[in-house]
Structure 1
Amino acid sequence: MEASRDRDGLANILIVDDTPAHRLALEAVLEPLGQNVLMAGSGDEALRLLEQHDCALVLMDAHMPVLDGYETVETLRRRAELRHLPVMFLTAMFCDREHAARSYALGAVDFITKPFEPSIVKAKVRAFVTLYQYHQRLKQQERRLASEVAAREAAEKADRLKEEFIAVLGHDLRTPLSAILFTAQRHADARDASGPCRMDGRRIAAMANRMGRMIDHVVDYTRSRLGGGLPIAVAPADLAELCRAPLDEIQAIYPESVITLVVDGDTRGVWDADRVLQVFANLVGNAVRHGDGTVRVSLIGVDAWVILEVRNGGEPIPANAMAHLFEPFRPGEGSRGGLGLGLYIVERIVHAHGGSIRAESSSQLGTTFTVRWPRYPAGHEDSVSEPHHNPSDAELRALLESATTIAIVGASSNPDRPSNEIMQLLLDAGYRVIPVNPRETEVLGQRAVASLADIGERVDIVDVFRRSEDTPAIAAEAVAIGARALWLQEGVSNEDAAARARAGGLTVVMDRCIGVTHRALRIAPKR
């Protein structure tokens, strides 16, 4: 029941007594508390008032005609909203222990006999009023918090729907934009077209490319907001080599600008090359467009970091813009037609690599963006590996000639599969060949086993024709059974398996096509 007060902000105290003089006397005792006092001359009147008012406390006379205090309390306790209403019994007639026990059995908070000490009653009532007011404040806070949570959830849902819509829209725009770009480029390159036609084609192509970059930014923005961050796929790379291509492209677009690159130290590490190129292109492009035409790009390898600095002269970035530089949808000074997502995407890419970015700008020193790239992003240490060097053909031939038993993981009885052809080639050459495939019972007359661990004899070479996600476990099994070599199809996704095999002392062959290599080596029949 919501509080209904005769005077705003005050608690209601209900006095129930069939004697008017007693009600007035009790009202005078409670007047210094400054609260709102309600009075009822009977149990029935008290129940009617409680339907209209939320009370902090009821002072109930036990002895009344028709409906006495006990019966009145029994009735109000049957109402869910009044079940826990504090009731203090006052009586001059029922002063024995039996009536006191009955009062407490009905949930009374006190049992006071008349005559009473006014200061004691006032103090007790004040305590219950304080508790009531504290409880009311808690309920108000709960309602306010619930309202805030509901508003926040509604806002988050609206934001998510908006971002999902932007993502879908950005994706769906790519197809018509690609058609526009293709047509424009065809007109721009058409030898039989007039000069103005080719010029229009180039202009449309340039605008389509610009729109494509804007769509890319929108898609990246929604990925970062909806997917918990931009995804990265890292691989060994050299930042100095990576940045040369975008620098050359920007220099060609702005031939009047002076762009210099300074490299100091080891700039190799493990990064997502495409994402790093986005950062380079954005920072250097901004420096050229918004600076005085002189841009200095430096790459410095220091311990576990490679530090990128992009510096340009010219007017500094306004102080009010510096505080929001990496926030989304804040186009920079002088930007034309951009969405204001470029630096936001740059910051997200750097963050995804575990790095940091900061900007400094002044009229004396110009504007400098500094990016600290960790050589090995957190969570991607397993991607780090030394460049793999395959054995020479002579070494491979020697490996094959010294081998006796070869296991083919993924061997298939399907004659159209490469593994079937290679197995036949090796059988014809006199090798003991063991097909490993849990879905086959026999391949080319040889009993198949479910895994390398089921072979039960020495294996010299393990040829792998399986999905790349399975190869790390296969490499571990090859080490466990004491194989001498692991032969894998070439691919970045097999690098982890290769690293495990090398760590176990195996010779590793990363081959573009195992079958071609085997045939090219002209394997001689075993004796």
Structure 2
Amino acid sequence: MNSAVETVEFKPEATAEAVAQAKILLVDDEPKSLYALQQLLSQLEQNLMIAQSGEEALRLALKNDFAVILLDVRMPGIDGFETARLIRSRERSRLTPIIFLTAAADEMASMFRGYEVGAVDYLMKPVVPEVLKSKVAVFVELHRKTERLRESEEKLRLLAAHLISVREEERAHIAREIHDELGQVLTGLKMEVGWLAKRLKDKDLIDKTDSMGKLIDSTVQTVRKIATGLRPEMLDDMGLVAAVGWQAKEFQKRTGIRCRVKLPPEVKFDIDVSTTMFRIFQEVLTNVARHSRATRVDIELTVAADRIGLDVLDNGVGITDTDMSGKKSLGLLGMHERALLFGGELKITGTAGHGTRVTVSIPLKGKA
């Protein structure tokens, strides 16, 4: 008997030193000032990038995510204020902290202007080294925490995608088992009862077998309903467009709420995208039935070259901001997350007394 014990090597997580350096942008038209800032901030051991004009700073801001930007106010061409305004106007850099540096004792109005265009601080040259390093270090640490949070959100989203995928696979498997196995058993049982009924003479026994046959028929319908609820065959066999049309008809039949449906010609989509859109559609209809008090629902499914869209509008009471942010809004959150997993977006708007609109848009080129 081999008693050797297998050793497992545990690798520690990356230390703070191994974390990627944060990018800091230094903007000044004076080479000496840039050199002084580089020497001062090099002690923070971060990735220092330099620009000698507002135009150059804008180009760098388009391509990089900075922890903080140190921006000289007075520069030829685009000055610091205009540079800051343009940086703030871009989605990628609209939240990047900007610290203004100026050699002149500007008036208070100039300082206020700096804050108006998005500065988080306004320092006079020559700056106190310890003060500047402390301020920059705070934003570097904040940037790192934000990046860690973003990475955690991405991991949670990937986990959610995996769990949804596993759940859909399990539902499909259970639906097939119920339909095939239990369905076959019930069909066989119905045949046996029918065979027995043909050989009976007693009226009471014949009536009993007839009742048994009806009960079996009812059970078969229930089994089909359960299997369809778990995973509609229509979605797998006919595609999303047909499944949406079928679901709308079933909803109208079950609730009495009229559905007006506008569908494109049938197009085959990636099965994961189809499933995501269909599940969102089901959740929207569930919310309409439960909360809207609507009498009509307008449904439109659209297909573009690169996107698929869904628009559902009811004429109910209209969803409120409280409803969208309340404890009972987990279904809405689930719809948002499903769309986000594929790089899509979902918008919900409501007007009191005039109904609720849900619009969904998902790219057709794979997951985000």
Coarse TM-score class (shorter-chain normalised)? 0.3 to 0.5
Report which of the two has the higher share of helix: 2
Who wins on radius of gyration, i.e. which is larger? 1
Pick 1 or 2: higher relative contact order, CA cutoff 8 A, min separation 6.
2
TM-score under structure 1 length normalisation = 0.33
